[in-house]
Amino acid sequence: MNYDRETGLAAPTIEILERMKAGEKFFQDIGSTTRLALHLSHAIDSPVVDETQIEGRYNFFFPWDRDHDDTQVIIKALRDKFGLTLTPAKREIEVLVVRQADDGKK
């Protein structure tokens, strides 16, 4: 991991560090593919289920601007950088619904 003490930026390569210093934004996380699926779910505003059966921890790092997110850019980055594919499918999934407790006060 390359680290710039002046800016506090960290990146896996000098090239990406320079791109970050120039203002380009990236997604970065270290964890399992299940953790990546959780982040992707938020990024594309749709449920994402990890069916890779890949174990281990990985450093996920690819161009992504949260303020100007584009689902197609995210999908392309997953395919090009990690060989992962998002495939639309319909299936039953468990959902946890959280509601505010009714304490009887009006």
Per-residue model confidence as pLDDT tens digits over 23-72: 888 888 888 999 999 988 888 888 899 999 999 998 888 777 777 767 88
Identity of the amino acid at 69: D
- CA dist 43 and 28 (Å) reads 13
Mean pLDDT over 4-11 rounds to: 86
Q: Give the pLDDT score at 16.
A: 86
pLDDT at 106 over 60: no
Mean pLDDT over all residues of the chain?
A: 85
pTM: 0.67
**CA terminus-to-terminus distance, the chain:** 55
- CA dist 77 and 40 (Å) reads 12
Q: Give the pLDDT score at 59.
A: 83
Identity of the amino acid at 7: T
The helix/strand/coil state of 66 is helix
- CA dist 83 and 24 (Å) reads 23
Nearest alpha carbon to residue 29 among 98, 97, 78, 71: 78
Q: What is the DSSP letter of 68?
A: G
Q: Is 48 exposed, middle or buried (0-12, 13-18, 19+ CB in 10 A)?
A: middle
